[in-house]
Amino acid sequence: MISAKWTKRSPWILHFDTGSCNGCDLEIWALLTPRYDVERFGMVNKANPKHADILLITGPVTRKAEERLVNLYNQTPDPKLVIACGDCASNGVPFFDCYNVCGGVDKVIPVDLYVPGCSCRPEAIMDAVVQGIQMWQEKVEREGER
C-alpha cells in the first residue's frame, strides 16, 4: 500500500526517442530552460526508468527501438503514465507504412496522452505534462486506496 506521503511527491520523467527527426526532442529540451522552467511543476528529467513516473516518448517506433521501448515501459514502476509527443509518436505519420516503422507508440505500449504537432510546441508539451501530472496523481491515489 502506498502511504499518504507518496501522493504529494513530484513525478519524474523519462524522455525516450524511438526514431524521430529530433524536432520534438529539441522542444522537450527547451522545457528545461529558464524560459519555460517546467521544473516548477515538479518535472525532473531522469535517465533511469526505475526512477521515472512518466514516460515522454517522441518519434515513430522503429523496429530497432520497439524492444527497448517495451523494456523501458516494463522497468518503470506502477503507477506510470505515457505521453506520446508529436505526430510521429501519435500515429507514425509521415513514416506510415515504412518497412522499419511499427507505427505510433500505442502500437507497442499503452498511451495515456497525445500531444499533436510536427514538431509539437513546448507550450503544448507543458500543457500535456501538467495534465499528465494530475492524471498520474489520481493513479497514485487509486493505487493507495487498494
pLDDT tens-digit profile of 1-37? 444 444 456 778 888 888 878 888 888 888 888 888 8
> Is residue 125 pLDDT above 60, yes or no?
yes
- What is the Cα 59 distance to its own chain's centre? 11
- Percent of the chain at pLDDT above 70? 92
Q: Which of residues 30 and 143 earns the better pLDDT score?
A: 30
* CATH no. for 9-145: 3.40.50.12280
CA angle 9–38–91, rounded 5-degree value? 100
> Is residue 38 pLDDT above 90, yes or no?
no
Round the average pLDDT of the chain to a whole number and report it: 83
- Percent of the chain at pLDDT above 90? 15
Give first-to-last CA distance, the chain, whole Å.
Answer: 7
Determine how many CB atoms are found less than 10 A away from the CB of residue 3.
7
Q: Which string of DSSP letters, residue by residue, matches 3-44?
A: -GGGGGSPPEEEEEESS--SHHHHHHHHHTSTTT-GGGGT-E
Alpha-carbon radius of gyration of the chain: 15
pTM as predicted: 0.86
Which amino acid appears at position 38 of this protein? V
Helix ranges (DSSP H) in the chain: 23-31, 63-75, 86-91, 122-145
Q: What residue ranges do the domains of the chain occupy?
A: 9-145
